[in-house]
Amino acid sequence: MANVEKYFKLVDQSQQQFIETLREVVAIPSVSGDASKRSEVVRMGEWLQARWEALGAVCKRVEPGKQNLEGTELDLPPIILGQYGNDPTKKTVLVYGHYDVQPALLSDGWETDPFTLVEKPDGRLVGRGSTDDKGPVLGWLLCAETHKQAGLELPVNLKFCFEGMEESGSEGLDQVIVDEADKWFRGTDVVCISDNYWLGTNKPCLTHGLRGVSYFHLQVEGPGADLHSGVFGGTVHEPMVDLVHLLSKLVDSKGHIQVPGIYDQVMPVTEEEEKTYEGLEFSHEALARDLKNDIIIHKEERDTLKHRWRFPTLSIHGVEGAFHSSGDKTVIPAKVRGKFSLRTVPNMEPAKVSELVTKYLNDEFAKLNSKNTMRVIETHGGRWWYSSPNHPNFMAGAAATEKVYGVKPDLTREGGSIPVTLTFEEALGVNVLLLPMGAADDGAHSINEKLDKRNFIQGIKLLGCYLYEVAQTDLTAV
């Protein structure tokens, strides 16, 4: 039996054990955006490092510095760099993933505790981080552990880079990648990232594009303290009134961004590109099912995909400082911060986006003649990435997908952002493949996030099989 077949067989026999490992890591609430959870993020990084070291990997814990979160000075979580195998006759694959997760509270609407993995009868493995990105990060570890257990060597040398700040802007990571490009990452032939999702629920895909992100806080400040609306309403400029007005000016109900000039740098759609929207596993019917309501703006599927992949969008996320509990508090909040972000696309420049957004909001605020003070703060950002899917690294990903799932993968772009993708490509000068494990309906960032057992188990096979394919592929045949 070929090594890859032996590997597949042992993966099949280890399914329950793999789910238990996923349960163990989901139970660590490694929420990078919550200052009170920082020690849990660190604990998760240490868990990963210990497990890889137990396997024989050489690891380096990099402390990327400090962060100011909610007025608290915090140590950024460690970046875990690793090397597993160092055979000069083998190729070297660098894998990246993140061990932090989005916030999750039972009160957000979760059916079960977000940090207790629940295996549902229909095969869903429900828990925060199951698909984004603990399942895939475990996938690489379980692949290596399974090989060792089967007495098999990995077909390539593996380097890895796991961070704990991806959900909060990957602070500190770009510099580490640049610093280590000629040191720890030296000798990398290709990069593979498993941190996005299929387009549908049945057909796997390879991804060759990501949108960037520019995140803003819009702060309006008035009185020194919250006020009684019965006493002061109608007699003072209310920060919340100004804020709601400004937020309403950002985007219309059809999703069209109102900031003048924002579409000027967007690359026009070519005839060649039009063809890439054909034959994909994507339908409005399935999308409406995932959304649990048909609230889709566009008529044609290709327009929905274009607005997910290749046009900028602007979303409003929340307001800090505003009254938001149940009950009827009659307060005038003194200081409020609206939070919104833009997803950016080729060829938008982050500095230009920032300039246009800031100028527009200042102009709109001036029209209000308000005595409040307003500030636009850009809190984090990441660049878009677009790559050709014709590189041999993608051929290896496609061959592995066909072996594991028996179908040719769709070629997709992703609406979300993984800011370091471009940094790896530029700093290391090698091709990057995005090879997702999860499906479109996993609910990443949402309530009841899940990873299907099928995707977890087949995904572990897929990541391993991809390594075998890279080992056999001429990566110079571009």
Give the containing element (helix H, strand E) for 205: strand 205-210
Determine contact, residues 84/57, Cβ cutoff 8 Å.
Answer: yes
Query: Which among 204, 67, 98 has a CA at the least distance from the CA of 421?
Result: 98
Minimum CB–partner distance for residue 132 and Zn ion (Å): 4
- Which of 361/434 has CB closer to ligand L7UNP4BN? 434
The verdict on whether residue 228 carries a ligand-binding annotation is: yes
CA distance 414 to 198: 9
The verdict on whether residue 132 carries a ligand-binding annotation is: yes
Minimum CB–partner distance for residue 130 and Zn ion (Å): 12
The verdict on whether residue 380 carries a ligand-binding annotation is: no
Contact between 171 and ligand L7UNP4BN per CB under 6 A: no
Contact between 195 and Zn ion per CB under 5 A: yes
Query: Which among 324, 328, 322 has a CA at the least distance from the CA of 220?
Result: 322
417 binds, among ligand L7UNP4BN, Zn ion, none (CB under 5 to 8 A by kind): ligand L7UNP4BN
Contact between 196 and ligand L7UNP4BN per CB under 6 A: yes
- Which of 315/347 has CB closer to Zn ion? 315
Contact between 163 and ligand L7UNP4BN per CB under 6 A: no
CA distance 390 to 426: 18
CA distance 314 to 360: 14
- In order, the DSSP letters of 393-427 are HHHHHHHHHHHHHSSPPEEEEESS--THHHHHHHH
Contact with ligand L7UNP4BN (CB under 6 A): which of 138, 190, 213, 440?
Answer: 213
Of the residues 40, 100, 189, 410, only one is catalytic, namely: 100
Determine contact, residues 410/434, Cβ cutoff 8 Å.
Answer: no
Strands (E), 284-404: 313-320, 331-332, 335-344, 373-382, 385-386
Query: Which among 238, 16, 144, 129 has a CA at the least distance from the CA of 460?
Result: 144
Q: Measure Cα distances from 61 to 81, 82, 123, 184 in Å.
A: 6, 9, 36, 12
The verdict on whether residue 167 carries a ligand-binding annotation is: yes
Contact between 133 and Zn ion per CB under 5 A: yes
441 binds, among ligand L7UNP4BN, Zn ion, none (CB under 5 to 8 A by kind): none
Output the residue with the shortest Cβ distance to ligand L7UNP4BN: 416
Q: How far apart are the first and last CA of the chain?
A: 32
Q: Measure Cα distances from 379 to 133, 168, 180, 421, 470 in Å.
A: 23, 10, 26, 20, 38
Which residues are CB-neighbours of 374 under 8 A, at least 6 positions away?
Answer: 218, 219, 220, 221, 242, 246, 361, 362, 365
Contact between 132 and Zn ion per CB under 5 A: yes
169 binds, among Zn ion, ligand L7UNP4BN, none (CB under 5 to 8 A by kind): ligand L7UNP4BN
Contact between 417 and ligand L7UNP4BN per CB under 6 A: yes
CA-derived radius of gyration, the chain: 23
Window of 50-58, 122-130, 257-265, 416-424 that interacts with ligand L7UNP4BN by CB under 6 A: 416-424
Residue with tokens 């390879």: 206
The interface with ligand L7UNP4BN within residues 438-477 (CB under 6 A) comprises 444
Q: Is 166 considered catalytic here?
A: yes
CA distance 156 to 153: 8
Determine whether 123 is exposed, middle or buried from the number of CB atoms within 10 Å of its CB (0-12, 13-18, 19+). Answer: middle
- Which of 133/174 has CB closer to Zn ion? 133
Contact between 416 and ligand L7UNP4BN per CB under 6 A: yes
Of the residues 145, 166, 189, 441, only one is catalytic, namely: 166
452 binds, among ligand L7UNP4BN, Zn ion, none (CB under 5 to 8 A by kind): none
The residue count for binding Zn ion (CB under 5 A) is 3
CA distance 214 to 66: 21
Minimum CB–partner distance for residue 286 and ligand L7UNP4BN (Å): 20
The verdict on whether residue 235 carries a ligand-binding annotation is: no
The interface with ligand L7UNP4BN within residues 129-148 (CB under 6 A) comprises 132-133
Contacting positions for Zn ion (CB under 5 A)? 132-133, 195
Contacting positions for ligand L7UNP4BN (CB under 6 A)? 132-133, 166-167, 169, 195-196, 213, 382, 416-418, 444
Residues with a known catalytic role? 100, 166
The binding site for substrate comprises 195, 228, 330, 343, 417, 445
The binding site for Mn(2+) comprises 98, 132, 167, 195, 445
